[in-house]
Amino acid sequence: MEIAVETRDRHSLLDITAEIQDAVTKAGWTDGLCHVFVPHTTAGVLLNEAFDPGVRADILSVLDEMIPAQKAWRHAEGNSPAHAKAALAGSAAWIPVQKGRLQLGTWQGVFLAEFDGPRRRRVILAFVPAQF
């Protein structure tokens, strides 16, 4: 199953929790693990606080400090910082599903981490049913 996400900014953390939950519901997935995979080298997936948008801004700020745009990067395309940030973010996450609902913490959300936008991104979902 796949979700298409259009990003609008060069760098952003887009909350895709509702889209994933909708996909889980439509697929009839009830109990097991939902695998979320972003097949891109300049984007990733993160689980973090979804309530306060300041957290997203702080995460992006810390990544900018850790991985500066102005550096002697070797990759000729000019988006090496995006590749490095995506490597830190990771390209996948596992989320438990019980009774058809994502089992996230009270404040948690699932984010597509865009580091080289705007672009059209794919989020691939797979399900491993629980073995009882």
pLDDT tens string 32-66:
999 999 999 999 999 999 999 999 999 999 999 99
> Tell me: the pLDDT tens digits for 12-21?
999 999 999 9
Sign of CA dihedral 41, 9, 47, 36: negative
Residue 8 confidence class, pLDDT cut points 50, 70, 90: very high
pLDDT reported for residue 72: 80
> Across the chain, how many H-helices and E-strands are there?
3, 8
pTM for the full predicted model: 0.94
> Tell me: the pLDDT tens digits for 97-114?
999 999 999 999 999 999
Bridge partners (DSSP) listed for residue 41: none
Q: CATH number for the domain including 59?
A: 2.60.120.460
d(CA 17, CA 22): 9
Domain range for 125: 2-129
Instruction: Specify the number of domains making up the chain.
Output: 1
Host H or E run for residue 112: strand 108-114
